[in-house]
Amino acid sequence: VTAARAVLLLSGGLDSTALLGLARPALALFVDYGQRPAAAEGRAAAAVASALSAELETVRVDLREIGAGLLRDDAPAPGSPSPEWWPYRNQLLVTAAAAVAVRRGLGEVLTATVASDGQRHADGTAEFYDALDAVLRIQEGAVRVRAPAIAMTSAELVTSSGVGDEVLGWTVSCHRGDLPCGSCPGCWKRDKVLLELGRMRPGDEP
């Protein structure tokens, strides 16, 4: 997976950090869209980008007025498939990244979506990214979107990236706030993956 002309959406979590190490895109992009853990995610993104010698750009687009779920408050939108669901978030983030790609003369947006994301919300499926790619392709700019880890587990992505603990240690995944709450799907998934990989011992759990 190499992507010299790509913009990678970097949240500062395990998956996007691993893909940053694996794909070495031209640019990492952190989007502060008004999510509760934005400050922690932004610090994590800056730390991992620096550790992996990647250029990082940050953009702010406040989507709080149209958001929902754990990343906004504890109130789910009607029909939420999972407590963290923020309606249409991924297409909004890919659109922001595509706009940055056009400005920078880059041709591709990469997302670090993994297999389990598609079990939690439709905008984490291969079908969704294929459709979004088609929408981008018919527009000026000729930007493409790709989710190269969509068939992988987080553990497989982290392992194949070769990214070490000294970098993974900076990652944050909590949906609720700037310090890990320990009881949201983001916190659970990070712990589960690091335990599964033997990178964190059971006694290290918060």
Interface residue list for Zn ion (CB under 5 A)? 174, 176, 181, 184, 187
Supply the minimum distance, in Å, between the C-beta of residue 190 and Zn ion.
9
- By C-beta, is 66 or 181 nearer to Zn ion? 181
The per-residue b/e assignment along 30-53, b for 16 or more CB within 10 angstroms, e otherwise, is bbbbbbbbbebbbbbbbbbbebbe
Supply the minimum distance, in Å, between the C-beta of residue 119 and Zn ion.
19
> In angstroms, what CA-CA distances link 52 with 14, 162, 185?
13, 11, 27
In angstroms, rounded to a whole number, what is the distance separating the alpha carbons of residues 95 and 92? Answer: 5
Supply the minimum distance, in Å, between the C-beta of residue 187 and Zn ion.
3
- By C-beta, is 202 or 206 nearer to Zn ion? 206
Residues ≥6 apart with Cβ < 8 Å to 200: 191, 194
Supply the minimum distance, in Å, between the C-beta of residue 126 and Zn ion.
27
- By C-beta, is 198 or 206 nearer to Zn ion? 206
Structure tokens at 200: 């964190």
- By C-beta, is 141 or 185 nearer to Zn ion? 185
